Structure 1
Amino acid sequence: MTTTSADNQRTESEDNAASVDTAAVNPHKSEPGDNEQDLRGRRRLSGPRQWFAGLTQLTNRAATIAAVILALLLSAAVTTALVLSHNIFEHEATEQAARVARESAQTSIPAVLSYDFNSIDTEFAKAGGYLTGSFRDDFAKLASGVIIPAAHRDSIITKATVSESSVVSATADRVVLLVFLNQETTSSAYQGQRLDGSRIRVGMASVDGQWLISEITPL
């Protein structure tokens, strides 16, 4: 009986020592319930983190799209401004061309269509300076072949004046005018002075900064 009691005491002592050793090795060992609480806590924390991460990506994407749209709008605005500026410049250039060409026609048309048989040779030589292109050559042929001989033969003196003119069409370097003329003519072929009215279509072309006649067509 004594031996058994001693053995039982040794066994209890060893068990207590083992318990102490286990506690010393794993002093923070958690219970099963603690693991579940930690997992739920991590899940609660991961939800907002994912939400904020998604929000950040969405914000970055929206900022990129907004930047692209802004760049496109700026490009369109610049293009529109350039087009409008070009159109305004063209419009102003056309208006100026029409005005200057019309003013030039007031002087050049009477100089070309007026003549005196006493000085027609020199007058028509000067008149060529108001003309340009193929019309200059055509007019020279008409003058030498028809107008000058008839003027000498019939002692013709004619004076042309522009009574009115209007712009038919215009660009920066070409203007077409409708011109109303009055012509006073004396000739040995008939008695007294004759007054004629007529309409002509006149083409004006810009050549080296001067507006010259490129066409005269009776209407």
Structure 2
Amino acid sequence: MAAEAPREDNVPEDRARADNVPEDKARADTSTVDDDPVEGTTPPRRNSARIVSAVVVVALVAACAWLGYLVWSDHREDELRRSAVEDATRLVVQLASYDHADVDANIEAVVADATPEFADRYREVSEGLRELLTNGQGTSTGTVTHAGVQSVDTGSAVVLVFLDQEITNVTVPEGRVDASRMVVTLVRDGNRWLLDSAELA
């Protein structure tokens, strides 16, 4: 008698379970495996976002630095203008004021705040006026009524000065006031301005 063929219901239990796995679940498992990035790599979108962020940060830093420089530059120029007007006013008053009783003190005060070139020229002129001022008992008091910067940079400045000079001497003992306008050139020396020229305008 021939042996009977094995029946279908004798298939091992594990095989039956595998055959009964839902199709959707199998697809889900395959999709999950395919979407995982390879270890040691970064998705392209994440790289692009980092590059854009870095570019934005660099641009913001550059913009802030430029704005800071502009503010500093404006402040620096304002400070140079202010100090040029103040020093020009003081130097012109010093130049226009003298007393026959102490001519040397007047000369040295001007020379101390002048460039070497102007100091030499001023000494030469003053020597010729010394005897005239002494004999004529001349005195002068200078007052600056207005001063404004014509041009300025970190090394030099030109200031327009309006000067009133009250003069007395043996000829006009009651005194008189002479008004003049002067173009004053200053040279920067460290933290101060030096007188380089003063010419009537």
TM-score interval for Structure 1 and Structure 2 normalised by the shorter chain? 0.5 to 0.7
Q: Is 1:213 paired with 2:195? A: yes
Partner of 2:161: 179
SS at match of 1:196: strand
Partner of 1:122: 105
Quick one: which of 72, 87, 94 aligns to 1:89?
Answer: 72
Q: Deviations over 1:178-197 (max 9, x none)?
A: 11001122345668633211
User: Which blocks of at least 5 consecutive residues in structure 2 are unaligned?
Assistant: 7-26
Quick one: which of 151, 157, 167 aligns to 1:169?
Answer: 151
How many pairs were matched up?
A: 187
When the two chains are superposed, the root-mean-square deviation of aligned CA atoms in Å is: 4.0
How high is the TM-score relative to the length of structure 2? 0.68
SS at match of 1:168: strand
Code of the residue aligned with 1:120 in structure 2: it is V
Q: Deviations over 1:128-170 (max 9, x none)?
A: 11222422222223323x4335434544322211111122233
Q: Is the 8 A contact 1:155 1:187 kept in 2?
A: yes
* Larger Rg over CA atoms: 1
How high is the TM-score relative to the length of structure 1? 0.63
Q: Is the 8 A contact 1:112 1:130 kept in 2?
A: no
Code of the residue aligned with 1:209 in structure 2: it is N
What stretches of structure 1 move > 6 A for 4+ residues in a row?
none
With over 3 angstroms needed to count, the CA separation of the structure-2 counterparts of 1:125 and 1:69, relative to structure 1, is: same
Q: Is 1:143 paired with 2:131? A: no
User: Which blocks of at least 5 consecutive residues in structure 1 are unaligned?
Assistant: 1-12, 21-43
Code of the residue aligned with 2:63 in structure 1: it is T
Quick one: which of 84, 91, 99 aligns to 1:101?
Answer: 84
Aligned residues: percent identity? 22
Residue 65 (structure 1) shift: 2.8
Code of the residue aligned with 1:61 in structure 2: it is P
With over 3 angstroms needed to count, the CA separation of the structure-2 counterparts of 1:80 and 1:148, relative to structure 1, is: farther
Q: Distance between the aligned counterparts of 1:60 and 1:66, measured in 2?
A: 10
